[in-house]
Each structure stands twice: as C-alpha cells, then as structure tokens.
Chains A and B, each alone.
Chain A
Amino acid sequence: NAGVTQTPKFQVLKTGQSMTLQCAQDMNHEYMSWYRQDPGMGLRLIHYSVGAGITDQGEVPNGYNVSRSTTEDFPLRLLSAAPSQTSVYFCASSYPWGPQHFGDGTRLSIL
C-alpha cells in the first residue's frame, strides 16, 4: 500500500520557471491538501480539496494553482517560481475530519 506519493523528492529551479509537483494517494481519501514548511516552522496550508472537482485556497495560496480532476491526484503548480517559494512541500490526504496522511515531501530550491 503506497499511501501518499509525492514526486519529485528534490528540485532546483531558476527564478521565473514553472513546474508541477505531483501528489497521488491510493486510499480513496476525499480530502487532499498542500502545505509548505519553511525551516524551523510549522505547516502552512496552500490549497486544499474536499473532493474531485472542488478546490479552495488556504493560508498562503499566492503563486500556486491546483486542480483535482480525480480522487487520486492533486497536483500543485508553481506559476513563476520566486526565491521566497524555496521550501519543503508536503501533500496530505484524509477522510473527512480524520487524521492526515503525509507524503515524504518535495524539497524545492529556487535560485
């Protein structure tokens, strides 16, 4: 059972480049979320989804887009990378009001 799978694990981008962070879960969870975690900090919610076709903004959505065309996949798009977006990105999934299951994270550096 894979759980939540994030790719890539590491990525280096140049300022202005765009990219998509992939997240897939095989637990049939309705809820999925994207967080960023900066060094020594807690988790900040970027975007979340309560089901296929439904997404909403979290605390820090600017510079990011998401879509949820299937229950399994929830990709996060960086539109034009900026150094301030250097962070570790975690994807999580859960049943409604249940515990969140996290992927291993993507460590992203923007030069």
Chain B
Amino acid sequence: GQQVMQIPQYQHVQEGEDFTTYCNSSTTLSNIQWYKQRPGGHPVFLIQLVKSGEVKKQKRLTFQFGEAKKNSSLHITATQTTDVGTYFCAGEGDSNYQLIWGAGTKLIIKP
C-alpha cells in the first residue's frame, strides 16, 4: 500500500541553527500537508502544498513539494525554542480520502 517515509526521526539542534525534515512517498500525491504537534498536544495544521514544484514560506519556515509530487521538505531557519515539537507530513493520494502520515521528526533544541 501507499507509504510516506519521513526522516530523520529526531534532530537535535542548538538554538539558532537550521532544521530540515524530509518526506518521500511511494506513489504520486495529489497534495501534501504539514502539521506540528507540541508535546502533550494535538497536531496543528501548518500548510498544504498542491502544485508540482511548489514552494511556500511562513516566516522562518519554507515548504517545498517536489516536481514529481512524491517528496516534500520543511526547512526552519534559525530555530527558536518555540519551534520545539514533532513535525509531520501527511500525503493524500488521488483515489480516495485517506491521509497517509509520515512517522514525524522530533525537533529538540539543545540547551
């Protein structure tokens, strides 16, 4: 079945360093969504990418959707303590309504 692989599982950074997480799908996606989950909280929607090669920015966050619509990335510039949490990608296929979730990348800020 359709799978979305997300790497890395964890990333430790010093505050002020950059952070990137990557998602790869086994099949072409109609769109990909990104969510953030704070410890003890629920996933919160960040952004949705629909077009091939699309790049969107939200302040220090940059989201990309690959040309083949099978991969995506989230890059955070100059991390802050408020960025701590787990970032999930979730891909939607063409055939039915089922979001397939990556396992998440946990961002840990080193003191």
A residues near B (Cβ < 8 Å) are 31, 33, 41-45, 48, 50, 58, 90, 96-105
Contacts and interface: CB of A to CB of B under 8 A. Distances in A.
A41 to B, nearest CB: 7
Given A41-B103, A102-B44, A105-B42, A96 B88 contact: no
Given A42-B88, A43-B88, A99 B101 contact: no
A100 B99 contact: yes
B28 to A, nearest CB: 15
B66 interface: no
Chain B interface residue number, banded = 20 to 34
A104 B41 CA distance: 7
Nearest to A88: B42
Contacts of A99: 33, 45, 48
B38 to A, nearest CB: 12
A42 B45 contact: no
A44 to B, nearest CB: 8
B85 interface: no
